[in-house]
Amino acid sequence: MRLEELLSAITVQEVRGDLTPKVKGVTVDSRQVESRFVFVAIEGQRTDGHRYVEEARKRGAVAVISEQAPGKTDITWVRTQDARRAAGLLSARLAGQPSQHLRLVGVTGTNGKSTTSFLLDGVFQRLAPPSALMGTVVHRVGSHSRPARHTTPEAPEVQVFLKASVEAGCRFGVLEVSSHGLALGRLEGTEFECAVFTNLSRDHLDFHRDMEDYFAAKRLLFERHLRAGGTAVIGLDDAYGRRLAETLGASVLTYGFSPEAKLRMENLEASFDGLRLRFRDGDVVREASSRLVGRHNALNFLAAYGAARALGLDSADVLRALEQVGDVPGRYELIEAGQPFHVVVDYAHTDDALRNILEATLALPHRKVLTVFGCGGDRDRSKRPLMGAVAARLSDVVVLTSDNPRNEDPLAIIREIELGTKGPRCQAEVRIEPDRRKAIALAVSLSEPGDVVLLAGKGHEPYQLIGERVIAFDDREVVRGILTRRMQPLNSN
């Protein structure tokens, strides 16, 4: 596509240079520039893309898109009002507007995005393969997958993914949609047939000014990216979900335990073997089972069911498919090595998520609950004592440790968490062990038959970020090794 034709996708304020070159790709990262690429120079939080215009030129860029007036370079310079928006619109145009050829579901919210997305993807894989999934854990097109680096990557990468999905024959796809991705325009050029809102609670306040700013970012999925005639599936048990449902002009399908929900949970039986659900779908009462564990996952089940039904898939087929979906990586994932107690790994890294997980655990048969967790460094510090308070109120033993300390002192992070463990109704025994491997081993050593050990915060992540280093570390593999060694003497008998 010639540059002049490509630029018809955006509002151009000023042009200097030749508009006839053919364009092969669009990127916001100068390191990814190849011959005949357009480089979109964005002034980001950590660096300014304008510093790398010359590098992009040397790599073969034919044009620069910028919000600034033309700079000193001998390649074409295009000034536009919103460079981030331009990156998405240009990428979508060059890719052939792939989202228009897919039946896409976008899932957003603080908690439950990954589980809801995995459930939906499980439905699509069984009822309409091949399908596509882009999320926190994995990016997959058909049978080809790779670990995710970002929940919602930069706009050009999103469009390349969607184009690959179309070319692979996918008709359905699920995208987890982060507030960062929405606020930074990474979904520009993407439209969804269905958008799901799970809930909203305190998180990412190192990025967003406050909760209202966080909520405003989430709203963008429904106000800017939900196509005309699309359906919004909204969790009604959440206060922000209620606000969203009341103000949207789009078709709204609500779900939850709330009496007003269109998909209303009427009865729930939970055990470590899974869930038995009975819910009302309009005038029809439906029953189903799930291999997932916990009340919070019953809501994720309803969200996935609602989205699949909004796309017109048959109710009975959807329920059969949902019943077959097993563990979601790092989301209330049970680790079994023959031990006489339960071990759960979960990604919960906010006070609300930790509360949900612990309340779900307390509703199941248990003796003691032992919780191991920390908080990430260089991130919102205000949630640290809140998480400490939740853990100390709802656990019997809490082991405070490192998460991804990044460039902070792990002990300093732990001390901030510890402040919350001294508040009202905090009854847990609190231990401190900054070394996460040793902390997990400590919790296992303290466990007795019937106990539950919860390893929270890392979930599916196979690494720890310590300083500038990326250390291989997977809670699931670490605890499995510890359990195996503990059980060896018993097994040898």
pLDDT at 460 over 70: yes
- CB contact burial 367-396 (16+ within 10 A = b; e otherwise): ebbbbbbbbbbebbbebbbbbbbbbbbbbb
Per-residue pLDDT of 142-159, as tens digits, reads: 999 998 888 789 999 999
Rg (CA), the chain: 24
**Cβ proximity of 58 and 72 under 8 Å:** no
pLDDT band of 131, cuts 50, 70, 90: very high
| pLDDT of res. 338 | 94
- Joined together, the tokens standing for residue 152 give 């919602």
**Cβ proximity of 341 and 450 under 8 Å:** yes
| pLDDT of res. 489 | 64
Per-residue pLDDT of 377-404, as tens digits, reads: 998 899 999 999 999 999 999 999 999 9
**Cβ proximity of 473 and 455 under 8 Å:** no
% the chain with pLDDT above 70: 97
| pLDDT of res. 249 | 73
Per-residue pLDDT of 184-196, as tens digits, reads: 999 999 999 999 9
- 96-324 domain in CATH 3.30.565.10? no
| pLDDT of res. 492 | 54
Domain spans of the chain? 3-94, 96-324, 333-492
**Cβ proximity of 36 and 65 under 8 Å:** no
Q: Which residue, among 126, 149, 423, 373, has the nearest Cα to 134 in the 3D structure? A: 149
| Topology at the third CATH level for domain 333-492 | Protein-Tyrosine Phosphatase; Chain A (3.90.190)
- Joined together, the tokens standing for residue 434 give 């900054």
**Euclidean distance between CA atoms 214 and 218, whole angstroms:** 7
Taking all residues of the chain, what is their mean pLDDT, rounded to a whole number? 94
Per-residue pLDDT of 174-184, as tens digits, reads: 999 999 899 99
pLDDT at 409 over 70: yes
DSSP run (H or E) holding 413: helix 410-420
Per-residue pLDDT of 222-275, as tens digits, reads: 999 999 999 999 999 999 999 999 999 769 999 999 999 999 999 999 999 999
Is residue 51 classed as helix, strand or coil in its secondary structure?
Answer: helix
Tell me the average pLDDT across 402-412.
96
Q: Which residue, among 376, 373, 391, 398, has the nearest Cα to 456 in the 3D structure? A: 373
List of residues 6+ apart from 239 with CB closer than 8 A: none
205 versus 158: the higher-pLDDT residue is: 158
| pLDDT of res. 46 | 75
DSSP run (H or E) holding 231: strand 226-235
**Cβ proximity of 107 and 120 under 8 Å:** yes
96-324 and 3-94 share a CATH fold: no
Which CATH architecture does the domain made up of 3-94 adopt? 3-Layer(aba) Sandwich (3.40)
- Joined together, the tokens standing for residue 326 give 């097993």
Q: How many CB atoms lie within 10 A of CB 51?
A: 11
Instruction: Catalogue the E-assigned strands of 7-111.
Output: 12-16, 25-27, 37-40, 63-66, 76-80, 103-108
**Euclidean distance between CA atoms 127 and 317, whole angstroms:** 8
% the chain with pLDDT above 90: 90
